[in-house]
A and B are shown apart, each in its own frame.
Chain A
Amino acid sequence: MAEFLQFLFSGLTVGAVYALVALGFTLIHNASGVVNFAQGEFVMLGGMITVFAAQAGLPLAVAAGVAIGVTALVGVALYRLAIAPAGSASVVSIIIITMGASLFLRGTAQSVFDKQIHRFPAFSGETPITIGGATLMPQSLWVLGGAAVVFVALHRFLAHTLPGKAVLATASNKLAAQLVGINTHAVLLLAFGLSAAIGAVAGVLITPLTMTTADMGVSVALKGFAAAMLGGMGIPVGAIVGGLGLGLIEAFTAGYLSSAYKEATAFLVILVVLVLMPRGLFGPKDVERV
């Protein structure tokens, strides 16, 4: 039983990391239909800027605030300088632009910061909490809590606020949104800024557990992307379920089957789910407009 609980806790911890990253993909996708491959770099920036701001003498909380703010500005700049000028380019072209942005941000972070591995202390100490013979780090609760808060906020934002509805309107039909008086340019700026901020929040929360390097973005984005697709792209609840599901599959495979093939199992499950449910677990039914 203690083993089962330990695998469960491990899965939830890792899954919450994936879920947080997956949530970051949601907003930009909702506003523009684009999967932003630089999302992992936002997570990296959140962690790295916090590390270096704290090293410069700022208290951790302030450093984290700075990191989230700066990353949000980077998100806005990404839209303003690279996505908006591309104008009517196809979605694939814009994805390639975000890949270029990912390389650019990674390379710049390596030059501005360094190529070493960093970490800062957990927020509530490093003493594990023991439940039923299994252990959980307090930071895992922070990550889980963070995912929950971001999820609720995002859900409320999209469903119940005017700017949120404007985001959804812009995504579903940009021209129609403009016709009803929505400033789609501002909406997209907002979406990129907020997505970057969500990524940075994830980076701040997970760094005490996963550590951070200028290079971490790719693998983080890969899992977050997979989690988002498993749940259904653009749907906050899908990101949460997809992330936690992926983490749990990996932990239980590592615990009960083979640690060498835990990621293989995860991707196998994704393939099977997508074949059965082509729009992910929570995606809308497959309807094509002709």
Chain B
Amino acid sequence: MTTIASRPSRARRRAGAVRTGFAGLAGFAGLAGLAGLAGLAGLAGLTLAQPARADILIGATLAETGPAAFLGEPEARTLDMLVAETNAAGGIRGEKVKLIRYDDSGNPDKARTFATRLIDDDQVVAVIGGSTTGSTMAVVPLFEQAGIPFVSLAGAVVIIDPVKTWVFKTPHTDRMACEKIFTDMRARGFTKVGVIAGTDGFGKSMQEQCLAVAGAHGIEIVGNETYGPQDSDMTPQLTNLKNAPGLQAVLNAGMGQGPAIVTRNFRQVGLEVPLYQSHGVASKSFIELAGPAAEGVRLPAAALLVAEKLPDDDPQKPVVLGYKTAYETATGQPVSTFGGHAFDAYKLLIAAIERAGSTDPARIRDALEQTRDFMGTAGRVTFTPADHMGLDETAFRLLEIKDGDWTLVQ
């Protein structure tokens, strides 16, 4: 408990930083001073003039706006909800949690600046964030250098492979998604597969992973197409896949509106083979956007989407049902697995801080790495020094869309 007792000095340091912080921004304004930007500096002073309290400061940099806003928004709302919940329940060992959250709009350069700000200026003890792989990879070196634990909410396998000391992540990797899909394809007797993917980071990365592991699963790729994340018609690409020799199934890697348009165009051009989507579409809005065309689409996703349909003896059921109910009550919006990743990250972090009995970043990191059998929305997590994601393929459920709703494929 010595570290907790030592925190007031940290707070004093912060109070000092706030005063000079004002002056620092005034320095910038001096540079622009000829431009009469004193008002701006005053504004900047406002941002920094938060009362210095002995709170536990947790940082977040998320893509709340921009093309990845459909990821960042549920993540931000989830974190806000959970912090309020923790503080209403008396905080962690009597300390309130304070979340400092920035919107990096999915831009890696902005994410990098905000990460620096969280580390140097806000002096947080841990950071959740990086909605996209690009923004995550841009900030990873900073956390490695500063020695602050960082829990990423992005998908790609490169984040934790090779393992980085201070970096953890909660979502499944795209490679696992490919494997889950290919396993199901083989079980259904499909070996000739067409791949179509968005040219955004998520689609491109998953496409590479799928092409890399296809051979090992006995899958032959007979067609390979891409589309821009903002494209409005994919029938040319799907026509080419339709004409691919011996096509038995199609896999689409993408997120945003692209997969919904692919699904509609898929039916439009009269493709009859089964369509697999990725975990990037794992929110109810995909079914709404794709409409009846989504019937029969299969995808790997977390159990969160089928919370009510899980058997009662499923150990994950109470967790996912609890989060789903809380989120939908708090926000009035349907739950998505993206918010679930933030839920897992926050709960993992809070548990680690409690176990560490300290707000020393190094001790939080060590406690985090010792996480055993944590049950989250993505599955059962066990971190080891060699595995900073801690999920296995069984954590993924294979879902099929039937009658406008998710169903578990047995």
Q: Does A137 interact with chain B (Cβ within 8 Å)? A: yes
Interface 9-residue window, one of A84-92, A114-122, A150-158, A274-282: A114-122
Docked pose: A17 CA to B232 CA in angstroms? 9
Contact flag A7-B69 (CB < 8 Å), given A126-B291, A135-B268: no
0/1 interface trace, chain B 59-73, chain A, CB 8 Å (1 if under):
000001111011011
**Nearest CB of B to A163, in Å:** 33
0/1 interface trace, chain B 27-49, chain A, CB 8 Å (1 if under):
00000000000000000000000
Q: Does A213 interact with chain B (Cβ within 8 Å)? A: yes
0/1 interface trace, chain A 205-238, chain B, CB 8 Å (1 if under):
0100111011110010000000000000000000
Contact of A115 among B73, B227, B233, B289 (CB under 8 A): B73
Contact of A211 among B67, B69, B239, B257 (CB under 8 A): B257
Contact flag A117-B289 (CB < 8 Å), given A135-B269, A210-B232, A216-B230: yes
Determine whether the beta carbon of B285 is less than 8 Å from that of A116. yes
Q: For residue A135, which residues in chain B have a CB less than 8 angstroms away from its CB?
A: 235, 268-270
Q: For residue B237, which residues in chain A have a CB less than 8 angstroms away from its CB?
A: 254-255, 259
Docked pose: A219 CA to B230 CA in angstroms? 7
Contact flag A6-B239 (CB < 8 Å), given A119-B288, A137-B268, A260-B226: yes
Contact flag A117-B261 (CB < 8 Å), given A135-B269, A254-B237, A259-B226: no
Docked pose: A126 CA to B290 CA in angstroms? 11
**Nearest CB of B to A183, in Å:** 37
Q: Does B236 interact with chain A (Cβ within 8 Å)? A: yes
* Size class of the contact patch on chain A: 35 or more
Count chain B CB atoms within 10 A of each CB in A118, A119, A126, A206 and give the residue with the most.
A119
**Nearest CB of B to A19, in Å:** 13
**Nearest CB of B to A126, in Å:** 7
Q: Which residue of A lies closest to B267 (CB)?
A: A128
The number of chain B residues with a CB under 8 A from chain A is 39
**Nearest CB of B to A226, in Å:** 13
Q: Which residue of B lies closest to A133 (CB)?
A: B270
Docked pose: A9 CA to B233 CA in angstroms? 10
Q: For residue A118, which residues in chain B have a CB less than 8 angstroms away from its CB?
A: 289
Q: For residue B261, which residues in chain A have a CB less than 8 angstroms away from its CB?
A: 209-211
Determine whether the beta carbon of A10 is less than 8 Å from that of B236. yes
Q: For residue A263, which residues in chain B have a CB less than 8 angstroms away from its CB?
A: 228
Determine whether the beta carbon of A255 is less than 8 Å from that of B240. yes
Determine whether the beta carbon of A211 is less than 8 Å from that of B260. yes
Q: Which residue of B lies closest to A254 (CB)?
A: B236
Q: For residue A251, which residues in chain B have a CB less than 8 angstroms away from its CB?
A: 233, 236
Docked pose: A6 CA to B70 CA in angstroms? 32
Q: For residue A30, which residues in chain B have a CB less than 8 angstroms away from its CB?
A: none
Q: Does B318 interact with chain A (Cβ within 8 Å)? A: no
Docked pose: A251 CA to B238 CA in angstroms? 12
Q: Does A108 interact with chain B (Cβ within 8 Å)? A: no
Determine whether the beta carbon of A115 is less than 8 Å from that of B70. yes
Q: Which residue of B lies closest to A4 (CB)?
A: B239
Q: For residue B65, which residues in chain A have a CB less than 8 angstroms away from its CB?
A: 107, 110, 115, 215
Contact of A6 among B225, B227, B235, B291 (CB under 8 A): B235
Q: Does A13 interact with chain B (Cβ within 8 Å)? A: yes
Docked pose: A213 CA to B72 CA in angstroms? 14
Sampled A-B contacts (30; CB under 8 Å): A7-B235, A7-B236, A14-B231, A14-B232, A107-B65, A114-B73, A114-B333, A115-B69, A115-B70, A117-B285, A117-B289, A119-B260, A119-B288, A126-B291, A128-B268, A135-B235, A135-B268, A210-B261, A211-B260, A211-B261, A213-B69, A213-B70, A215-B65, A215-B66, A215-B67, A219-B230, A251-B233, A254-B225, A254-B237, A260-B199
6 nearest A-B residue pairs (beta carbon): A210-B232, A255-B236, A115-B69, A219-B230, A254-B236, A211-B257
